[in-house]
Amino acid sequence: MGAVRDPERWRAALYIRLSREDESDGPSESVSNQRAMLEEFARKNGLTVCGEYIDDGCSGTTFDRPAFQRLLRDIEGKQVNLVLTKDLSRLGRDYILTGYYMERWFPEHRVRYISLLDGVDTGEERSANDITPFRAIMNDMYAKDISKKISSVKHDQQRRGLFIGGKAVFGYRMHPTEKNRIVPDPGAAPVVRHIFALALEGASCREIARRLNAGGVPTPAVYAGLTVARPGPCTGLWSPERVSDLLRNETYAGNLVQGRRVKVSYKSKKSIRRPPEEWVVVENTHQPLVDRDTFDRVQALLRSRRRTRSRQYDFPLKGLIFCRECGAPLGVINRPNAAGEDVLYFICRTYQRHTGAGACTSHTARESRVMQAVLEALEQLWGAWMEGENLCGEALRVLRGTSGGDAGAERRALTARIGALTARLDRMYLDQLEGTLEREDYLRLSARAREERAGLEGQLARLERRPADEGAVARELARRFAAQAPGDRAVLVSLVDRAELTQDRKVLLKVRFRPPRREAEADRLQQPRPEVSRIEKKALCKLEQAMNEK
């Protein structure tokens, strides 16, 4: 590399990355040697080093690395305007995102990038800069080759009946002396046998979960000592779904089952569930917890209870109404009345899944009454909105698909998200061409990404469109809300962000706009009010009388 001109202009950041696959490449890839090389270059050129950013053990196929993200924040804070790396692969091995940062993000933020061994310097015209895309592709191919080799080794181990998971299934533990082997866990194995015994007696999965919770039997997560980031009312409780998964696991019959999930790409941590016929099942690899006859009889019992849901109930508040106490979405149940007509009732799903465990209460209320209460509350707001020019503020932002705030910041956020989705589509297309992503998965994932991108582009277009007569548009929006909301779910969703039903059958409504202030409330509203989110404003709607079930 040549000398850096005007070194006093530059505030340098030393970026160092070492992934696990690079550890076998020799000492030249070590963190200490990368640091020494970068510090020597900075010293010879008189550069001011503002900080070191080290991602040790992070793959180059992803840019969601702690130190790299901190570097981007410091660049945005004008603390850094020069990034130094040992070579291009230290910046990243995903050639699409590497090119994005080198050719778009860094120049847009007035940042100079230098790769020492590759001779790349975006601050000068160099021939090495012209072949940078090809270097990035080679680095990407290296990561892909390493991924294939690792996957091949893991698949071979699975086919040979070796356990390659990080943690054994509940009821087993890792063998104390033999690697890749599992043995029964004395503490958890009796629980598994007890669950199979209850199933043989004819108990349903819901009944088994109720008995386990009543007996204080720890769940697999509790038994393993796993911490829950966001504990809820169901944390630490057995669920029917958990019991069903356990009863269907062939591992308890002595057959090792692996490969249930697979990553969509070597560049992504996201995984998808494989169909059962693609699982890797090796028979008689370890000591079973239940004999084969017991396992087969339990499967027959489970199949006998399987029912195909013949109806799905649609109602205007679907996906919008939640339990106030536990936060779970409310489901609906159908209870025909005396005339044989279908009547839908809301019910808390937490209570439905853990009846008798005390996790929550039923919250049972007739769907039609809850919907009527919501509409009455919204009609009161519409009446205030139709007065004068009340609608010119928040309502127009609803019309444009935004909830207020800095329009410039929102425009930048939408543009960045659209660019990220475009880059993701490019990666998926290349993965599909290379055979790492099945065509069916590519069509499904790309369709979803295109749909999301089209929606964001629509929001951006609405944000940039400024109506000529804001007052007329506002009044038209109010008229449309009042005329269509009772029968139009799309309009209702544009109004209501979230509805919550309390255990005494009252409705708390959270809307997507700030209701206008009435003159009668002027004096009260002059008093100091607590801070509320600038994104969403809450409006509390209480019913005059309790909605009791008939």
Residue range of the domain that includes 243: 172-304
Q: Both 298 and 339 in a single domain?
A: no
DSSP-assigned letter for residue 81:
-
pLDDT for res 391 = 47
pLDDT for res 481 = 57
- Domain end residue (candidates: 105, 129, 146): 146
The dihedral of CA 60, 61, 66, 70: what is its sign?
positive
Percent of the chain with pLDDT over 70: 71
Cα–Cα nearest to 251, from 350, 189, 169:
169
Tell whether 2 is covered by a domain: no
pLDDT for res 409 = 63
Mean pLDDT of the region 497-521: 70
- Domain end residue (candidates: 464, 479, 495): 464
Tell whether 161 is covered by a domain: no
- Give the pLDDT band (50/70/90) at residue 306: low
φ, ψ (nearest 5 deg) of residue 388: 60, -135
Mean pLDDT of the region 274-284: 86
pLDDT for res 404 = 44
Give the mean pLDDT of the chain. Answer: 75
Q: Both 526 and 498 in a single domain?
A: yes
Q: Both 191 and 130 in a single domain?
A: no
Among 112-121, 130-139, 270-279, whose mean pLDDT is lowest? 130-139
pLDDT at 392 over 60: no
Higher confidence at residue 479 or residue 164?
164
Side-chain-side CA neighbours of 377 within 13 Å: the count stands at: 24
pLDDT digits (tens, 9 = 90+) for 23-37: 544 444 578 888 888
CATH number, domain containing residue 63: 3.40.50.1390
Q: Both 27 and 72 in a single domain?
A: yes
Q: Both 395 and 408 in a single domain?
A: no
Q: Both 180 and 259 in a single domain?
A: yes
pLDDT at 155 over 90: no
pLDDT for res 289 = 93
Tell whether 106 is covered by a domain: yes
pLDDT for res 322 = 87
pLDDT at 461 over 70: yes
pLDDT for res 385 = 55
Q: Both 406 and 537 in a single domain?
A: no
Mean pLDDT of the region 297-313: 70
- Give the pLDDT band (50/70/90) at residue 543: very low
Mean pLDDT of the region 492-513: 78
Are 13 and 50 spatial neighbours (Cβ–Cβ below 8 Å)? yes
pLDDT for res 534 = 35
pLDDT for res 403 = 42
Tell whether 337 is covered by a domain: yes
Separation CA 136–CA 98 (nearest Å): 7
Highest mean pLDDT among 167-176, 300-309, 420-429: 167-176
Higher confidence at residue 2 or residue 449?
449
Domains: count for the chain: 4
Are 271 and 264 spatial neighbours (Cβ–Cβ below 8 Å)? yes
Are 547 and 523 spatial neighbours (Cβ–Cβ below 8 Å)? no
Q: Both 436 and 522 in a single domain?
A: no
Q: Both 90 and 199 in a single domain?
A: no
Mean pLDDT of the region 374-378: 78
Two tokens, residue 51: 């900080």
pLDDT for res 468 = 43
pLDDT for res 80 = 93
Tell whether 122 is covered by a domain: yes
- Give the pLDDT band (50/70/90) at residue 128: low
Are 122 and 107 spatial neighbours (Cβ–Cβ below 8 Å)? yes
pLDDT digits (tens, 9 = 90+) for 316-359: 787 788 888 887 788 888 877 777 777 888 888 777 776 666 67
pLDDT at 209 over 80: yes
pLDDT at 438 over 90: no
Mean pLDDT of the region 209-235: 81
Q: How far apart are the first and last CA of the chain?
A: 83
CATH number, domain containing residue 228: 3.90.1750
pLDDT for res 401 = 47
CB contact set of 354 (below 8 Å; sequence gap of 6+) = 209, 210, 213, 234, 237, 239, 360
- Domain end residue (candidates: 304, 323, 341): 304
Residues in the chain: 550
Higher confidence at residue 52 or residue 1?
52
Torsion of CA 408, 413, 415, 419, to 10 degrees: 160
Amino acid at residue number 281:
V
pLDDT at 313 over 50: yes
Q: Both 94 and 130 in a single domain?
A: yes
Separation CA 299–CA 283 (nearest Å): 17
Among 289-303, 315-329, 345-359, 522-536, whose mean pLDDT is lowest? 522-536
Tell whether 166 is covered by a domain: no
Tell whether 153 is covered by a domain: no
Q: Both 288 and 374 in a single domain?
A: no
Tell whether 60 is covered by a domain: yes
Q: Both 328 and 265 in a single domain?
A: no
Amino acid at residue number 130:
D
